[in-house]
Amino acid sequence: MPLELSDWQYDLGGVLIGADTNVQVLETAGLGRPPVRESDVDQPSMDGQFAGPDYWAGRQIQIDAAIKIPGDPGACHDMVAALQAATDPASVRLVGGQGMTMRVKRPGRPVKRLTVRARRLAPEYRQVIHGYVPLDMEFLAHDPTWYADEESTTELPLGWLTGGGFAAPVVAPIYVQDGTVAADRPGWVTNSGDADAWPIIRITGPCANVTITHVASGRVLALPTLNLPAGRWVEIDTRPGYRTVRWDNGGNASAYLSPASRIDLFSIPPGTSEMRWTAFDNTNSARLAITWRDAYIAL
């Protein structure tokens, strides 16, 4: 379970700092607008420039803090060791795309999170004998977007009945699909933030020839050659820095994705969106689960 945060507190990979802790945060920089990667070009033989697209760069967060445990230098060293243990594990540091979670709580705002890499953790031990250790920390969030602390999930079964169900009074003949036509079922997802959210989509068999559509944008993820046995699943991760298609055993399943399918564009925009998926399933037991975190421009 994640740590409970109060106002002005930070969770750095499971280590609590900030208000009412032994690590007082004096100043934090980098929580506002992230740096910009501009692509402006000088106008040839004229004044000025042509305005190219602006992209966000990684978010750099600097935390100026101080460990204050009067009369206990050993506890100060223990706190530094705890922060190093949270920021330096090989499972994060040596694996591309992995990061640690930073969670932040501000007054009047919900807890929000980033995935970060530690770039600096520099204690100053000159006054440690008195139980005081200034601490300079720096983190880089390769994805600068803020995300909700809690995940949202919706599960969509394949609809088997044509037209979406029965309407009373029921009049013969009643038509149902026979498994030779791809069934479809609409569903709705809501991103309560103000930036694009990136879903993790899990398809659980038995089903074949899967197509997932974001209706408003028309963006499609198609796996036309996929034949998924009962009980097995394939997961499509659209999050920046991940963007993988994998089997339940960790194997690569990206070969099943059609060339026209763009994981890097399959986001959930702010507001409510209709999602639809189609597949062949003559058992009516296949499921599609969509998991996402609401995304925000600002903290």
Residue range 205-256, pLDDT digits in tens: 999 999 999 999 999 999 999 999 999 999 999 999 889 999 999 999 999 9
Least confident piece of the model among 6-10, 166-170, 244-248: 166-170
Least confident piece of the model among 53-62, 183-192, 207-216, 266-275: 183-192
Confidence (pLDDT) at 157: 80
- Kindly provide the b/e burial profile for residues 83-103, where b requires at least 16 CB atoms within 10 angstroms of the residue's own CB: beebbeeeebeeeeeebbbbb
pLDDT band, very low/low/confident/very high, at 100 (cuts 50, 70, 90): very high
Paired residues of 101 in beta bridges: 115
Do 179 and 247 share a structural domain? yes
Q: What is the mean pLDDT of residues 42-49?
A: 94
Do 131 and 163 share a structural domain? no
Final residue before a domain boundary, out of 144, 172, 194: 144
Number of structural domains the chain divides into: 2
The 8-class DSSP code of residue 176 comes to B
Confidence (pLDDT) at 40: 93
Do 177 and 68 share a structural domain? no
Final residue before a domain boundary, out of 82, 113, 144: 144
* CATH number of domain containing 44: 2.40.30.200
- For 103-159, what is each residue's pLDDT tens digit? 999 999 999 999 999 999 999 999 999 999 999 999 999 999 999 999 999 998 875
Final residue before a domain boundary, out of 84, 110, 144: 144
Distances (CA, A) of 218 to 139, 186, 215, 267: 37, 14, 5, 11
Q: Collapsing DSSP states into helix, strand and coil, what is residue 42? A: strand
* CATH number of domain containing 253: 2.60.120.860
